Amino acid sequence: MTPFVYDIALSVPFRGLSRRSGVLFEGPAGWAEWSPFPEYGDQEAAEWLRSALETATHGHPATVRDRVEVNGIVPALSPADAAARAVTSGCRTIKIKVAAPGDPVADDVARVAAVREALPSARLRVDANGGWTLAQAAEALRLLEPMGLEYAEQPCATFGELASLRAMETGVLIAADESIRRADDPYRVRDAGAADVAVLKVQPLGGARACLRLADELGLPVVVSSAVETSVGLASGLALAGALPDLPFACGLETGRLLAGDVATEPLVPDDGWLVVRDVTPDPALLRVHRAGPDLTSFWLDRWERVSRIVEDQG
């Protein structure tokens, strides 16, 4: 499995990033992506590599549906830009980023209000990435609840804060993301009664099959989300969404539009808010276009060697 390092600009800043990079490689069952965020340590990145190796070696799990509804994603933009992006997504569900560092809650309220005005019938959800304190989250949800939120994703950082917020009965469902995928024990969210919805991402949780087991054992409705990957990585998330027995919510898999380019000639972007479940094979010409420079390639290949040894040692 020869690793290929890609580097693609983002069309809008997202999650503090202006570019996305990672490793693509081909195994006996097809192509896979390994792209843990740069700040993640090697032990955490090992779960991402297990996921990629599973995809390349064994392929995707069998699916029960051939298409998946997705939510449009709106970064922490100005109200006007947020509304415009929500409309152009073509999706009936919109996820709006809130709680950006240094931004007051009033900015979040204005952003959500602009999207609601532009799309009166859309299902709206917000994602704070754990950026609010418990008090801030309670106040934010009090102000946002009249706008008809479907749920708030990771409004606070810890599962204990999520449980406390949920006990306040704000009228807004609570979804857990980081408190599952970055937790030593992902079941603590369930045991503490800290969430109404589980957000699962294939790479951080060790692969689609591990996610299917986790979804069954958590006993919560599941939303599959992406880690801002190329279409190769998105295909794994889409396969998980296609394999879940129940899928009551739209999934967070519209992130391909955040990239200014892709490695596939037919990238995974939604049509009228839906994605077709399918495999993705990179185009050699596009791989050449998006090949990372020497320094970034060295960073990723060194990381690949270190993390591969961890995976091999742990079996």
Task: Please give the annotated binding residues for Mg(2+), written as ranges.
Answer: 127, 153, 177
Identify the helix (H) or strand (E) that includes residue 127: strand 123-127
**Among candidate residues 12, 37, 42, the one with its CA nearest the CA of residue 22:** 37
Phi first, then psi, for residue 223 (nearest 5°) are: -115, 125
How do 274-276 and 67-69 pair as beta strands?
antiparallel
Q: Which residues form the catalytic set? A: 97, 201
| Cβ pair 132, 101 in contact under 8 A | no
Tokens of 33: 């992506």
Identify the helix (H) or strand (E) that includes residue 48: helix 42-58
| Cβ pair 186, 194 in contact under 8 A | no
- How far apart are alpha carbons 265 and 90 in whole angstroms? 21
Work out the angle at residue 71's Cα, subtended by the Cα atoms of residues 104 and 116, and round it to the nearest 5 degrees.
50
Name the percent of the chain in helix, strand, coil, to the closest 5: 40, 20, 40
> Helix (H, G, I), strand (E, B), or coil: what is residue 259?
strand
Binding-site members are 127, 153, 177
